[in-house]
Structure 1
């Protein structure tokens, strides 16, 4: 349900489409919304595209910070394809909404980036917590942003990442509320998926990680947190976008938060157990 009591019919319909069909709908301009719940059971990925002379250091940053930055794939310079993640992927068109930064400043939020593409660009696809949401749902755990037809709330925390020369800064976290017993089960379920952030990084007491008001997320939408629920926080793949923005490279192409690459890889393939 949306906040106005309606259900977005296009999102409900696309939950049952294949990942390839979802990407084709996005590529044609037929869908520009968040991807939570679409092509259920399939991996979704965060996006960071950088010039080649920044890419090696960014990969090193990801290796030092596997919790918020689990790398699923890296492209060849200039190539829009990611064959290990899906059939006929064109990273220039297959994200519902992008963010384009120049020297750290957001300059555009287009629905395709062909006009700014360059032959030296390297694409990183980073694991996304949307990938473990289907296992949470299958375990009988309700997801509030699904229920309210909203984007997941994301917050800048005070948890510092392990820096490199140019990259560093605080971790971004995503939040899902659960009753205490369900929170324990959520830990068990998500611990099986280290490639898409794994277990939570914090439970309850949001002020201890620098979050003063759950009703004011830095990214995504606020969701209801009931009095008998705990906010549960996972490392979020928006972290690299924030870290790269702070480093001010001449060009960064990222996803708009919540608008992911939907891959042909089943979530079960990323499970550790």
Structure 2
């Protein structure tokens, strides 16, 4: 069996394109940046670009394609965003309609792709510092939650911030803040530590996206802004068509993590 942790990004994308990989990508291509995806028709592109600029914590931009181009040339020249993600979600007029493994049939000549930084990227330096990542240990998707923190509106786009959560000891949480602050292009430092009710999360065992994970005695939940935010925004803003990655099923780029470190 292939060890996806040490497989090169282009090899992972090749397996995804063949649909040999259809699950979450956490832990794959260790040391390479993973990205969230949003695809919109050109008429919405400026509004969404402005939305990302105004909300850099949940929506840190790594690349934007030319209208009609499905090649994210800044972060992976040979890639094809129509086929190189394990699962996609289709939203029509704010309604999530289906999940697919290839969006070629949905592609239109005026579409623009936005690649946003993903917190899976900083998990490698966390693990290398001895901080366990529970969803990787339990071989499931990271838990994600809608919050009561509103994004700053831009054009037609508005909605709540979504967060991802990783349980940690108090000591590990402090170290995690230090490590992830170095990676503002992939959400940076946590936006909340501790009591989930302060974020409007009523039951931490029931994530809005992804899977619940074990929180052990003595651990606290640590929350990072999440690139699934545009999917919550799509439900509220209702663009005629928005295509995204399925939560946890990311685009794996050719950019090494250290290229995004600011320290």
Give the shorter-chain TM-score range: over 0.9
Following superposition, the deviation at residue 236 of structure 1 comes to 0.2
1:93 matched to which residue of 2? 83
State the secondary structure of the residue aligned to 1:230. strand
Q: Indicate whether 1:252 and 2:231 are aligned.
A: no
- In the alignment, the residues of structure 2 paired with residue 188 and residue 33 of structure 1 have an alpha-carbon distance, to the nearest angstrom, of 30
8 Å Cα contact 2:35-2:115 kept in structure 1: yes
- TM-score normalised to structure 2 length: 0.98
Match of 2:98 among 108, 120, 123: 108
State the secondary structure of the residue aligned to 1:15. helix
- In the alignment, the residues of structure 2 paired with residue 234 and residue 29 of structure 1 have an alpha-carbon distance, to the nearest angstrom, of 30
Q: Indicate whether 1:65 and 2:58 are aligned.
A: no
Following superposition, the deviation at residue 166 of structure 1 comes to 1.3
Deviations 1:63-103 (A, max 9, x none): 00000000000000111101111141000000000001111
1:142 matched to which residue of 2? 132
- In the alignment, the residues of structure 2 paired with residue 154 and residue 107 of structure 1 have an alpha-carbon distance, to the nearest angstrom, of 20
1:167 matched to which residue of 2? 157
- In the alignment, the residues of structure 1 paired with residue 55 and residue 143 of structure 2 have an alpha-carbon distance, to the nearest angstrom, of 21
Following superposition, the deviation at residue 244 of structure 1 comes to 2.5
Q: Indicate whether 1:193 and 2:189 are aligned.
A: no
1:26 matched to which residue of 2? 16
- In the alignment, the residues of structure 2 paired with residue 227 and residue 206 of structure 1 have an alpha-carbon distance, to the nearest angstrom, of 16
Q: Aligned Cα RMSD in Å?
A: 0.9
Match of 1:215 among 205, 216, 219: 205
Of 214-223 and 244-253, more deviation after overlay is shown by 244-253
Q: Indicate whether 1:124 and 2:114 are aligned.
A: yes
8 Å Cα contact 2:10-2:254 kept in structure 1: yes
8 Å Cα contact 2:68-2:109 kept in structure 1: yes
8 Å Cα contact 1:75-1:123 kept in structure 2: yes
2:229 matched to which residue of 1? 239
1:5 matched to which residue of 2? none
Q: Tell me, which stretches of 5 or more residues in structure 2 are unaligned?
A: none
Following superposition, the deviation at residue 170 of structure 1 comes to 1.0
Following superposition, the deviation at residue 60 of structure 1 comes to 0.3
State the secondary structure of the residue aligned to 1:109. strand
2:256 matched to which residue of 1? 266
- In the alignment, the residues of structure 2 paired with residue 93 and residue 204 of structure 1 have an alpha-carbon distance, to the nearest angstrom, of 38
Following superposition, the deviation at residue 206 of structure 1 comes to 0.5
State the secondary structure of the residue aligned to 1:187. helix
Following superposition, the deviation at residue 108 of structure 1 comes to 1.7
- In the alignment, the residues of structure 2 paired with residue 249 and residue 162 of structure 1 have an alpha-carbon distance, to the nearest angstrom, of 17
Deviations 1:204-237 (A, max 9, x none): 0100110111110000000000120010000000
Number of equivalent positions: 263
- In the alignment, the residues of structure 1 paired with residue 149 and residue 160 of structure 2 have an alpha-carbon distance, to the nearest angstrom, of 5
